[in-house]
């Protein structure tokens, strides 16, 4: 269950991270910066982390989501298409709502709370995450 959750979290986290990176590179909207930002966390926020460590922080969150997703179907929920989509959407919606607190808490420059375009990119990225989370549960079958 944990190995499977880490696989699911890895595939979904890579899709989200790469999407946000490409969006930031193409548009200049700092959605990738927001996704990877930890500067507001006491102690670790004061360190200028290399890109690989920022990715690790991002992946740890994604692994937790993947493990929760796999745990739910291996132990609690009936595996129906509706339940798989529902849980993927629920877990991802919770993650997507972090736009507001991450933006408020960020010290470095991130998109504004009122930047509708950045919010749209953020939400599209999280829709991709939900899709990948659900699809990777069965190894993209």
Cα–Cα distance, 104 to 129 (Å, whole number) = 23
Give tens-digit pLDDT for 99-138. Answer: 998 898 888 889 999 999 999 999 999 999 999 999 887 7
Cα–Cα distance, 38 to 33 (Å, whole number) = 10
Three-class secondary structure of residue 81 per DSSP = helix
Q: Return the half-sphere exposure (C-beta side, CA atoms, 13 A cut-off) of residue 66.
A: 28
Whether pLDDT at 141 is above 50: no
Q: What burial class does residue 94 get, using C-beta atoms within 10 Å of its C-beta: 0-12 exposed, 13-18 middle, 19+ buried? A: exposed
Cα–Cα distance, 34 to 51 (Å, whole number) = 13
Cα–Cα distance, 139 to 141 (Å, whole number) = 6
Can you give the pLDDT at residue 79? 77
Give tens-digit pLDDT for 27-78. Answer: 999 999 999 988 888 877 778 888 888 899 899 999 999 999 988 877 877 7
Cα–Cα distance, 42 to 30 (Å, whole number) = 22
pTM: 0.88
Q: Which domain holds residue 10?
A: 1-138
Cα–Cα distance, 118 to 134 (Å, whole number) = 24
End-to-end CA distance of the chain: 18
Whether pLDDT at 94 is above 50: yes
Domain total for the chain? 1
Closest-CA residue to 5 (of 71, 79, 67, 64): 67
């Amino acid at each position: 269950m944990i190995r499977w959750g880490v696989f699911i979290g890895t595939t979904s986290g890579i899709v989200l991270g790469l999407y946000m990176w490409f969006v930031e590179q193409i548009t200049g909207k700092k959605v990738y910066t927001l996704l990877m930002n930890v500067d507001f966390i006491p102690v670790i926020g004061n360190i200028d982390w290399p890109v690989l460590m920022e990715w690790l922080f991002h992946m740890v969150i994604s692994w937790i989501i993947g493990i929760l997703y796999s745990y739910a179907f291996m132990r609690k929920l009936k595996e129906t298409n509706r339940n798989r989509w529902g849980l993927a959407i629920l877990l991802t919606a919770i993650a997507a709502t972090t736009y507001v607190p991450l933006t408020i808490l960020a010290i470095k420059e991130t998109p504004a709370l009122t930047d509708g375009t950045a919010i749209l990119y953020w939400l599209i990225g999280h829709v991709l995450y939900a899709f990948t989370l659900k699809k990777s549960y069965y190894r993209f079958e």
